[in-house]
A and B are shown apart, each in its own frame.
Chain A
Amino acid sequence: MSEHVQTSNGHTPLLEVTDLVKHFPVKSTGVVRRTIGQVQALDGVSFTLEKGQALGLVGESGCGKTTTGRVITRLYDPTSGSMKFEGTEIGQLSGRQMMPYRREIQLIFQDPYSSLNPRHTVGKIVGTPLEVHNIVPKKQMIPKVQELLEVVGLNPEHYNRYPSEFSGGQRQRIGIARALALRPKLIVADEPVSALDVSIQAQVINLLQDLQREFGIAFLFIAHDLAIVRHFCPEVAVMYLGKIVEIGSRDQIYNTPHHPYTQALLSASPDVKQAAIGGRRERIRLEGDVPSPINPPSGCRFRTRCWKAQDVCAEKEPPLYEVGGRNVACHFAEPLQVVQVPVVSEGATAVSPT
Chain B
Amino acid sequence: MIGYILRRLVSAVLVVIATSMIVFLLFTLGPSDPAQRLCSADRCTEERRALIHQSLGLDKPVVEQYLTWAKGVFVGRDVSYGPGFSVDCPAPCLGISYINKEPVFPTLMERFPATISIALGGFMYLIVGVIIGVLAARRRGTSTDRGLVASTLIISAIPYYLVALLAYLYLVLKWGIFSETSYVPLTEDPIGWAGALALPWLVLTVYFCVTYARFSRGSMIESLSEDYVRTARAMGVSESKVVAKHALRAAVVPVITIFGIDFATLLAGTVFTEAIFGINGIGRTALASITQGDLPIISATVLIGSVFIVIANLLVDIIYSFLDPRVRLS
Contact = CB atoms under 8 A, between A and B. Distances in A.
A331 to B, nearest CB: 37
B216 to A, nearest CB: 28
A276 B51 CA distance: 101
A29 B330 contact: yes
Contacts of A31: 3, 6-7, 10
Majority SS of interface residues in chain B? Answer: helix
Majority SS of interface residues in chain A? Answer: loop
B4 interface: yes
Contacts of A29: 3-4, 7, 330
A190 B7 CA distance: 39
The size class of the interface chain A forms with chain B is: under 10
A30 interface: yes
Interface in A29-76: 29-31
Nearest to A28: B3
Contacts of B10: 31
Interface string A16-33: 000000000000011100
Contacts of B6: 31
A8 B4 CA distance: 57
A29 B4 CA distance: 7
Contacts of B3: 29-31
Interface residues of B, number: 6
Nearest to B9: A31
Nearest to A29: B3
A51 to B, nearest CB: 46
A31 B7 CA distance: 5
A31 B8 CA distance: 8
Interface in B282-330: 330
A29 to B, nearest CB: 5
A193 B10 CA distance: 48
Interface in B92-150: none
Nearest to B8: A31
B329 to A, nearest CB: 10
Interface string A82-116: 00000000000000000000000000000000000
Contacts of B330: 29
A285 to B, nearest CB: 28
Interface in B158-173: none
Contacts of A30: 3, 7
A354 to B, nearest CB: 45
Nearest to B11: A31
A30 B330 CA distance: 11
B1 to A, nearest CB: 10
Interface in B4-32: 4, 6-7, 10
B317 to A, nearest CB: 14
A301 to B, nearest CB: 25
B2 to A, nearest CB: 10
A34 to B, nearest CB: 12
B321 to A, nearest CB: 12
A29 B6 CA distance: 10
B4 to A, nearest CB: 7
A28 to B, nearest CB: 9
A31 B11 CA distance: 9
A30 B4 CA distance: 7
A30 B3 CA distance: 5
A31 B6 CA distance: 7
A31 B4 CA distance: 8
A344 B6 CA distance: 64
A29 B327 CA distance: 11
Nearest to A30: B3
A39 to B, nearest CB: 15
A101 B92 CA distance: 64
Nearest to B6: A31
A29 B10 CA distance: 13
Nearest to B4: A29
Contacts of B4: 29
A24 B72 CA distance: 47
A105 to B, nearest CB: 35
Contacts of B7: 29-31
A199 B3 CA distance: 51
B11 to A, nearest CB: 9
Nearest to B1: A29
A29 B330 CA distance: 8
Interface in A208-254: none
A186 B47 CA distance: 82
A29 B5 CA distance: 11
A31 B3 CA distance: 6
A323 B7 CA distance: 54
Interface string B34-77: 00000000000000000000000000000000000000000000
B10 to A, nearest CB: 6
B131 to A, nearest CB: 35
Given A29-B4, A31-B10, 8 more contacts: A29-B3, A29-B7, A29-B330, A30-B3, A30-B7, A31-B3, A31-B6, A31-B7
Nearest 6 Cβ contacts at the A-B interface: A31-B7, A30-B3, A29-B3, A31-B6, A31-B10, A29-B4
Interface of A: 29-31
10 contacts: A29-B3, A29-B4, A29-B7, A29-B330, A30-B3, A30-B7, A31-B3, A31-B6, A31-B7, A31-B10
